[in-house]
């Protein structure tokens, strides 16, 4: 019998990349050779791509958050749920945030930025990038504009000033962080020699227009100040600008802002309109966070010819009853997941429903009904374990 230590290197790599992340983290203790393999950025990329493309849709998870309350330091713990009963599992990673820290960006490939939310607490570093799979975190340099602002206004809360948006550029294989402070923008490439660069232009992102408050009242999680109506898709960070009726995007490769006009044929555009990632395509969803029996979705099929109105395809999903709805994401085989409630109130905890729709046929496939615990809500779908070491990105 051949010992696993005597396996050819290529065969060992094939075995290791099929293991769950938690098992791999323990396997680093087997030997220095295994440690070097698992910490190699090329292997981490291979493991992530295999999990994302070769496994069933069970490789992706709904990401949940627990909150202390909805109005101050809202998120306490982030964890991916099991796909069987949407519960917390010891086999999946979770992270609990400290008293003064909160996630301050969107989640991209299992990475999220974490910020010190009170400027008056100067004893700790202000900005970090966190790997939700390995729980490893790495400090990031402060944007020059934020550093100057903190000096001038030391008692201002971070949520009321800065907005951070994380993206991944597939061409350079680099993560980039966009910072917007009162309309002035800077970008940082994560990695060696990290320096902030000024960006010309302004995305024109509005305040949440009451959406943050509305989502809190309805029991939908507040994903950090300024992150309603944005999505990071295929090397671009998209924002809604409802005042000008456009979708602004930041091209991570060119580091420039551009925009997409929202066709006049899309009716009902309001602060209850969201921008979502629909399987790698930009989607405009009308009717979220309000009682509806039908959800209207417009998908931009070709983002290279985005000003052609014929590239927008409308989908209408009929719900079995009147629900308050939020879109969670799309599975690998084109199933759209909707998170629905019968009532907006958070005082009582009514059953919550996860409806799965086929985006091609528009038919409802399955329904999962669960009773949510108080102050627990889903953030988004498509969390895939990513073991990339932060010092290798």
Task: Note the pLDDT tens digit of each residue in 45-82.
Answer: 888 888 777 655 556 788 887 776 544 546 778 888 87
- In the sheet that holds 196-199, the strands lie side by side as 162-169, 174-181, 184-189, 196-199
SS3 content of the chain, % helix, strand, coil (to 5): 20, 40, 40
DSSP 33: H
pTM of the model: 0.86
Cα dist from 194 to 123, 125, 294, whole Å: 22, 15, 46
Say how far apart CA 110 and CA 131 lie, in whole Å.
6
Q: CB neighbours of 285 closer than 8 A, spacing ≥ 6?
A: 273, 274, 275, 276, 295, 296, 297, 327
Confidence of residue 138 (pLDDT cuts 50, 70, 90): very high
Confidence of residue 129 (pLDDT cuts 50, 70, 90): very high
Q: Which of 149-163, 224-238, 256-270 has the highest mean pLDDT?
A: 256-270
161: which 2 tokens? 């000033």
Q: Are 185 and 203 in contact (CB under 8 A)?
A: yes
**The total number of residues written for the chain in this structure:** 393
Say how far apart CA 257 and CA 275 lie, in whole Å.
17
Q: Are 192 and 137 in contact (CB under 8 A)?
A: no
Q: Are 377 and 219 in contact (CB under 8 A)?
A: yes
């Amino acid at each position: 019998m051949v010992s696993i230590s005597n396996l050819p290197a290529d065969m060992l790599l094939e075995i290791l990349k099929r293991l769950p992340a938690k098992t791999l983290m323990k396997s680093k203790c087997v030997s220095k050779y295994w440690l070097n393999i698992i910490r190699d950025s090329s292997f981490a990329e291979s493991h992530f791509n295999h999990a994302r493309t070769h496994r069933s849709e069970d490789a992706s998870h709904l990401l949940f958050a627990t909150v202390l309350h909805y109005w101050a330091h809202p998120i306490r713990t982030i964890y991916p749920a099991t796909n069987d009963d949407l519960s917390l599992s010891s086999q999946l990673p979770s992270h609990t945030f400290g008293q003064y820290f909160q996630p301050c960006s969107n989640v991209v490939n299992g990475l999220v930025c974490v910020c010190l939310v009170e400027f008056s607490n100067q004893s700790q570093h202000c900005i970090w990038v966190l790997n939700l799979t390995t729980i490893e975190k790495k400090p990031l340099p402060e944007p020059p504009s934020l550093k100057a602002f903190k000096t001038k206004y030391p008692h201002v809360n971070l949520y009321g000033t800065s907005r951070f948006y994380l993206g991944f550029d597939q061409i350079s294989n680099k993560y980039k962080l966009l910072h917007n402070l009162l309309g002035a923008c800077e970008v940082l490439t994560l990695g060696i020699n990290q320096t902030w660069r000024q960006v010309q232009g302004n995305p024109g992102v509005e305040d949440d227009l009451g959406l943050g408050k509305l989502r809190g009242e309805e029991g939908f999680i507040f994903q950090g100040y300024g992150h309603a109506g944005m999505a990071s898709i295929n090397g671009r960070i998209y924002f809604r600008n409802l005042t000008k009726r456009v979708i602004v995007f930041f091209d991570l490769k060119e580091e420039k802002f551009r925009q997409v006009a929202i066709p006049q044929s899309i009716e009902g555009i309001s602060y209850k309109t969201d921008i979502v990632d629909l399987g790698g395509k930009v989607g405009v969803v009308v009717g979220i966070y309000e009682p509806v029996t039908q959800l209207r979705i417009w998908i931009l099929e070709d983002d290279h010819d985005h000003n052609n109105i014929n590239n927008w395809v409308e989908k209408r999903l009929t719900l079995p009853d009147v629900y308050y709805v939020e879109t969670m994401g799309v599975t690998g085989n084109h199933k759209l997941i909707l998170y629905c409630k019968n009532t907006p109130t958070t005082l009582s905890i009514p059953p919550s429903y996860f409806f799965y729709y086929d985006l091609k046929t528009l038919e409802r496939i399955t329904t999962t009904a669960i009773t949510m615990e108080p102050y627990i809500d889903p953030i988004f779908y498509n969390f895939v374990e990513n073991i990339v070491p932060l010092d290798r990105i």
